């Protein structure tokens, strides 16, 4: 039987990849994808804990996280399209209208 | 034994894919890899006995959300400004800081977690739990569930509102 | 350990049978489609190719076509994304074949004192698995259109992905009444609950069947919803640039998807492997043999899905193609509200 730590290490690796992606990629699409990766790492922790502790609450939480991710992806991609239409780029370094 | 082999196989694939998703150059490739990533993650869920969540993952994440990504990439020019901007040195410092931070937190986490692993873990993994999930979802979690549906509605409306072209007549 | 090897062998045999069935589909279906189309348009259709002096109604035409397809030269466009261009046909075929594995083809048979269910994997999430896996087939189409760096292909794949995503919703919603009525997600127990012919899905949930039938055509990109490959507007859409065996793989995937949905439809709405008016248990009594009854059930299921395959052909040669805005309007403004209302009404009736 695989110890619970190994599942958590896998989740940690995925979460780290996602964080680094958000911090380093200068492309809004990649940043959104990295956020999806992070959410999935969180889901993995929830499911692991749920099935190791014999409690279904974790799996239901995954259900809500997926709902949230769907909303986030929809609105985020809509914003990407709007930004691309307005500024012709989706590189966040060039989007500094609000920076003053 | 079979479970361990499957898990380490899936875990190694997932690790490689997660690294590839954030390092690859073309957005389309990244989305395709992310699809595989989520698909194999659904495999891990199935391994953990969460069959319903695994299928939900495949239907919603891999089958719908990432299609949206694909869609947007195809609507936009796929090879647009891929150049990475920013200061190299600053990035390197940030990278090492994040990595060290994560290592630190992971060690902290496992220290804290150690007593939990011994006592509370149930021996057999829950199988065949679709029915129980349904019951819990509609009894204990009915209000969060309703709120989630409101959130989805809000998401639909705002996505349309944000992404539509500004209309020609000013009356709208 | 003995039992383990026995089950492993049974699984391998089942896999081979399912794969063989899937591979037999396109040649037969292509022949039927061409002949049927010809008869509906008062032509002769392919009737020449035969063996020596027997013409066999041109039955060997598809064999010859297959050989031609395999030995054709493969061309790859210069600008194409090489990796995804080669990967796309495979990506569309694998989910199609995977979805077959969860179908329940019959009750169990008894061999050497072991019960072998005629279903490759029995998941407690049942047909949700099939819906999810067949939804993955979108990526093959999308990547095919994108990788071939051709405007028409890209348009075709965009159309296909939008269409499949929007029609997945009414399809999933139309199956909720079935789950509510039969109280199960497993295909096997749904079929067992339909022993009485008047308790078939079509009689208990006719609106669901109506919606499922429409979305079935839309999900497989078949006429009248074949906007993804409409040859008069997009010159075959996403598979314009694909030749020889890659095209054959797309074709195979399309027919396997059609077969999966046709079988799913006959399982959920037409009693699956239940022979009409003879419940399975009674059939076992009548025949006195478990295996024979299961075999007859299997044949019944195949006949039922053959009817739906024929319906695909029939509709294709009868109805004209939709316009794209009509398609979207039908999906979002008619089918989704109708299926939501259907769920509401069904649960209200079941509550009372």
Query: At which residue do the structure tokens 């979805």 appear?
Result: C99
Angle at C290 between CA C289 and CA C296, to 5 degrees: 90
Contact A62 B53 (CB under 8 A): yes
| In the predicted structure, residue B59 carries a pLDDT above the cut 70 | yes
Most confident of B76-85, B89-98, C155-164: C155-164
- The pLDDT of residue B81: 55
Query: At which residue do the structure tokens 């499922």 appear?
Result: C212
**Which class does domain A4-91 fall in?**
mainly alpha
Q: How far is C135 from chain B (nearest CA, A)?
A: 5
Closest residue in chain B to residue A28, using alpha carbons only: B27
Question: Which of B44, B50, B97, B134 is the mutation pick for testing A, counting most A CBs within 10 A?
Answer: B50
Q: Which residues on chain B are in Cβ contact (under 8 Å) with C172?
A: 59
Contact B99, A12 (CB under 8 A): no
**Residue C3: is it exposed, middle or buried by C-beta count within 10 angstroms (0-12/13-18/19+)?**
exposed
Where does the pLDDT of residue B84 fall: very low under 50, low under 70, confident under 90, or very high at 90 and above? low
Instruction: Give the number of C-alpha atoms closer than 13 A to the C-alpha of residue C265, restricted to the C-beta side.
Output: 27
How many residues belong to chain B? 172
What is the tens place of the pLDDT at every residue in C279-300? 877 777 787 777 888 888 888 8
The H or E element containing residue B115 is helix B88-119
| In the predicted structure, residue B127 carries a pLDDT above the cut 70 | no
Report how far residue C191's alpha carbon sits from residue C187's, in angstroms, rounded to the nearest whole number: 6
- The pLDDT of residue B120: 55
Contact B122 A93 (CB under 8 A): no
SS3 state of residue C125? coil
pTM of the entire structure? 0.85
Contact C105, C273 (CB under 8 A): yes
Contact B63 C135 (CB under 8 A): yes
- The pLDDT of residue C191: 84
Report how far residue C170's alpha carbon sits from residue C189's, in angstroms, rounded to the nearest whole number: 23
Q: Which residues on chain B are in Cβ contact (under 8 Å) with C168?
A: 59, 63-64
Angle at C168 between CA B56 and CA B42, to 5 degrees: 20
Contact B162 A78 (CB under 8 A): yes
Instruction: Give the number of C-alpha atoms closer than 13 A to the C-alpha of residue C260, restricted to the C-beta side.
Output: 30
- The pLDDT of residue B172: 44
Q: How far is B112 from chain A (nearest CA, A)?
A: 12
What is the tens place of the pLDDT at every residue in B7-30? 888 889 988 988 888 888 788 888
Q: Which residues on chain B are in Cβ contact (under 8 Å) with C162?
A: 71
Where does the pLDDT of residue B117 fall: very low under 50, low under 70, confident under 90, or very high at 90 and above? low
Where does the pLDDT of residue B79 fall: very low under 50, low under 70, confident under 90, or very high at 90 and above? low
Nearest to C38 by CA among C57, C60, C20: C57
Angle at C260 between CA C148 and CA C62, to 5 degrees: 65
Angle at C66 between CA C63 and CA C69, to 5 degrees: 155
Q: Give 10-residue mean pLDDT values along chain A (100 residues).
A: 79 85 82 89 88 81 89 88 80 72
Report how far residue A41's alpha carbon sits from residue A63's, in angstroms, rounded to the nearest whole number: 14
Token pair listed for A64: 């809500």
- The pLDDT of residue A95: 73
Contact A61, B131 (CB under 8 A): no
- For B59, the closest of C84, C128, C161 (CB atoms) is C128
> Are chains A and C in touch, 3+ Cβ pairs below 8 Å?
no
- The pLDDT of residue A100: 56
Residues of chain C scoring pLDDT < 70? 1, 230-231
Closest residue in chain C to residue B29, using alpha carbons only: C84
Cis peptide before C51 (omega within 30 of 0): no
Mean pLDDT of B91-105: 79
Domain B1-77, second-level architecture:
Up-down Bundle (1.20)
Neighbouring subunits of A (3+ Cβ pairs under 8 A): B
- The pLDDT of residue A20: 84
């Amino acid at each position: 039987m695989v110890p619970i730590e190994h599942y958590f290490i896998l989740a940690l690796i995925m979460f780290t990849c996602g964080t680094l992606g958000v911090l380093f990629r200068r492309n809004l699409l990649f940043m959104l994808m990295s956020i999806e990766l992070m959410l999935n790492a969180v889901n993995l922790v929830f499911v692991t804990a749920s099935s190791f502790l014999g409690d279904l609450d974790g799996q239901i939480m995954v259900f809500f996280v997926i709902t949230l991710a769907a909303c986030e992806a929809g609105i985020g991609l809509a914003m990407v399209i709007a930004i691309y239409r307005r500024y012709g780029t989706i590189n966040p370094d060039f989007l500094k209208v609000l920076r003053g | 034994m079979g479970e361990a082999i499957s898990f380490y196989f899936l875990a190694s694939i997932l690790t490689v894919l997660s690294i590839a998703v954030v390092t690859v150059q073309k957005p389309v490739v990244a989305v395709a890899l992310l699809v595989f990533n989520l698909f194999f993650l659904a495999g891990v869920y199935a391994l953990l006995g969460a069959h319903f969540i695994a299928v939900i993952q495949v239907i919603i994440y891999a089958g719908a959300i990432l299609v949206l990504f694909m869609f947007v990439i195809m609507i936009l020019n796929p090879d647009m400004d891929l150049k990475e901007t920013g200061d190299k040195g600053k990035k390197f410092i940030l990278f090492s800081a994040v990595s060290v931070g994560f290592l630190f937190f992971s060690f902290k986490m496992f220290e804290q977690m150690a007593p939990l692993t011994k006592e509370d873990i149930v021996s057999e993994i829950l199988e065949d739990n679709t029915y129980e999930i349904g019951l819990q979802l509609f009894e204990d979690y009915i209000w969060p569930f309703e709120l989630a549906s409101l959130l989805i509605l809000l998401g639909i409306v705002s996505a349309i509102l944000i992404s539509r072209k500004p209309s020609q007549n000013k009356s709208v | 350990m003995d039992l383990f090897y026995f089950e492993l062998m049974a699984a391998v045999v089942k896999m081979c049978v399912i794969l063989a069935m899937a591979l037999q589909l396109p040649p037969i279906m292509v022949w039927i489609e061409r002949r049927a189309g010809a008869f509906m348009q008062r032509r002769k259709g392919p009737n020449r190719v035969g063996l020596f002096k027997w013409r066999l109604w041109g039955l060997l035409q598809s064999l010859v076509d297959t050989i031609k397809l395999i030995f054709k030269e493969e061309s790859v466009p210069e600008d194409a994304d090489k990796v995804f261009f080669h990967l796309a046909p495979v990506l569309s075929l694998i989910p199609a074949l995977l979805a077959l594995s969860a179908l329940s083809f019959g009750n169990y048979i008894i061999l050497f004192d072991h019960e072998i269910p005629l279903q490759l994997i029995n998941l407690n999430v049942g047909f949700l698995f099939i819906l999810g896996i067949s939804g993955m087939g979108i990526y093959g189409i999308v990547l095919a259109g994108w990788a071939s760096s051709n405007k028409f292909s890209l348009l075709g794949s965009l159309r296909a992905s939008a269409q499949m995503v929007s029609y997945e919703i009414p399809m999933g919603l139309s199956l909720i009444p079935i789950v509510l009525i039969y109280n199960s997600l497993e295909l096997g127990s749904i079929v067992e609950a339909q022993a009485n012919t008047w308790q078939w899905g079509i009689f208990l949930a006719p609106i669901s069947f109506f919606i499922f039938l429409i979305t079935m055509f839309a999900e497989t990109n078949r006429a009248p919803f074949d906007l993804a490959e409409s040859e008069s507007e997009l010159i075959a859409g996403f598979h314009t640039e694909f030749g020889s065996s890659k095209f054959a793989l797309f074709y195979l995937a399309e027919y396997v998807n059609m077969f999966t949905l046709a079988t799913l439809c006959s399982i959920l709405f037409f009693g699956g492997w239940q022979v009409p008016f003879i419940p399975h248990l009674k059939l076992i009594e009548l025949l006195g043999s478990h295996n024979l009854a299961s075999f007859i059930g299997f044949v019944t299921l195949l006949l039922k899905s053959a009817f739906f395959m024929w319906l695909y052909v029939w509709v294709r040669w009868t109805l004209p193609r939709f316009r794209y805005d009509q398609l979207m309007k039908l999906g979002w403004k008619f089918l989704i509200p109708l299926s939501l209302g259907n769920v509401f009404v069904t649960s209200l009736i079941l509550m009372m």
